[in-house]
Structure 1
Amino acid sequence: METFVLDDSEVAEHAHTPALVSAVEDAFAAYATGAVEMPAKSYVEPDAYGGDFRSMPAYVDADGWDAAGVKWVSVYPDNPEAHGLPTVLGLVIYSDPATGFPLAVMDGTELTMRRTGAAAAVATDHLAVDDATSMGIVGAGVQSYAQLEAVSTVRPIGEVVVSDPDDERVDRFVEAFEDEFTVRSGDVGAAAACDVLSTVTPVEDPIVTAADLGERTHVNAVGADAPGKRELADGVVEAAKLVIDDHEQCTHSGEINVPWTEGTLDAADVHGELGEIVTGRLDGRVSADGVTVFDSTGLAIQDVAAARIVYEAARDDGADAYDFLS
Structure 2
Amino acid sequence: MQTIDARKVHALLPYEALIPALRRSHEGERPLADSQVMDDPSGSGNRFVTLPGWMEGGMVVVKMVGVFPANRDRDPPLGSVLGAVAGFDGETGAPLLVADGEAMTYRKTAAISGLGAALLAPPEPRELLVVGAGGLGPHVAMAHMAARPSITRVRIWNRTPQRAETLAADLRAQAFDAQPAPDLDAAVARADVITCVTMSTAPLVKGALLKPGAHVDLVGAYMPDMREADDDVMRRGTLWTCGGDSIGRCGEVTLPLASGALVREDIRGDLFALVQGRDAGRARADEITVFKNIGGAHQDIFATAILRDRLEA
Same fold (TM over 0.5): yes
Aligned to 1:321: none
Equivalences for residues 105-254 of structure 1 within 5 A:
105-156=98-149, 157-178=151-172, 179-186=174-181, 187-192=183-188, 193-246=190-243, 248-254=245-251
**Is the contact between residue 161 and residue 190 of structure 1 (CA under 8 Å) also seen in structure 2?**
no
Query: Which residue, 293, 298, 307 being the options, matches 1:296?
Result: 293
Aligned to 1:99: 92
Identity %: 29
Q: Distance in 2 between matches of 1:162 and 1:81?
A: 23
1:267 aligns with 2:261: no
Q: Which amino acid aligns with 1:153?
A: A
1:25 aligns with 2:23: yes
Query: Residue deviations 1:65-99, cap 9 Å, x none?
Result: 94431101234567676998655322100123233
Q: How many residues align?
A: 307
Kindly state the Cα deviation for residue 315 of structure 1 after the two structures are TM-superposed: 4.2
Q: Distance in 2 between matches of 1:264 and 1:135?
A: 26
Q: Secondary structure at the match of 2:291?
A: strand
**Against the structure 1 CA distance between its residues 75 and 170, is the aligned structure 2 distance closer, same or farther, given a 3 Å change threshold?**
closer
Name whichever of 245-254 and 295-304 sits farther off: 245-254
Equivalences for residues 279-294 of structure 1 within 5 A:
279-287=276-284, 289-294=286-291
**Is the contact between residue 68 and residue 97 of structure 1 (CA under 8 Å) also seen in structure 2?**
yes
Name whichever of 149-158 and 75-84 sits farther off: 75-84
Q: Secondary structure at the match of 1:119?
A: helix
| TM-score, with length taken from structure 1 | 0.85
1:11 aligns with 2:9: yes
Q: Distance in 1 between matches of 2:178 and 2:49?
A: 37
Q: Secondary structure at the match of 2:41?
A: coil
Query: Which residue, 66, 73, 77 being the options, matches 1:74?
Result: 66
**Is the contact between residue 160 and residue 182 of structure 1 (CA under 8 Å) also seen in structure 2?**
yes
Q: Which amino acid aligns with 2:293?
A: S
Q: Which amino acid aligns with 1:104?
A: L
Q: Which amino acid aligns with 2:26?
A: F
**Is the contact between residue 38 and residue 59 of structure 1 (CA under 8 Å) also seen in structure 2?**
yes
**Against the structure 1 CA distance between its residues 279 and 19, is the aligned structure 2 distance closer, same or farther, given a 3 Å change threshold?**
same
Kindly state the Cα deviation for residue 45 of structure 1 after the two structures are TM-superposed: 5.4
Kindly state the Cα deviation for residue 220 of structure 1 after the two structures are TM-superposed: 0.5
**Is the contact between residue 216 and residue 290 of structure 1 (CA under 8 Å) also seen in structure 2?**
yes
**Against the structure 1 CA distance between its residues 288 and 173, is the aligned structure 2 distance closer, same or farther, given a 3 Å change threshold?**
closer
**Is the contact between residue 128 and residue 193 of structure 2 (CA under 8 Å) also seen in structure 1?**
yes
Q: Which amino acid aligns with 1:143?
A: L
Name whichever of 106-115 and 280-289 sits farther off: 280-289
Q: Secondary structure at the match of 2:20?
A: helix
Q: Distance in 2 between matches of 1:52 and 1:158?
A: 37
Structure 2: runs of 5 or more not aligned:
none
Kindly state the Cα deviation for residue 222 of structure 1 after the two structures are TM-superposed: 0.6
**What is the root-mean-square deviation in Å for CA atoms of aligned residues?**
2.6
**Is the contact between residue 244 and residue 296 of structure 2 (CA under 8 Å) also seen in structure 1?**
no
| TM-score, with length taken from structure 2 | 0.88
**Against the structure 1 CA distance between its residues 20 and 35, is the aligned structure 2 distance closer, same or farther, given a 3 Å change threshold?**
same
Structure 1: runs of 5 or more not aligned:
317-326
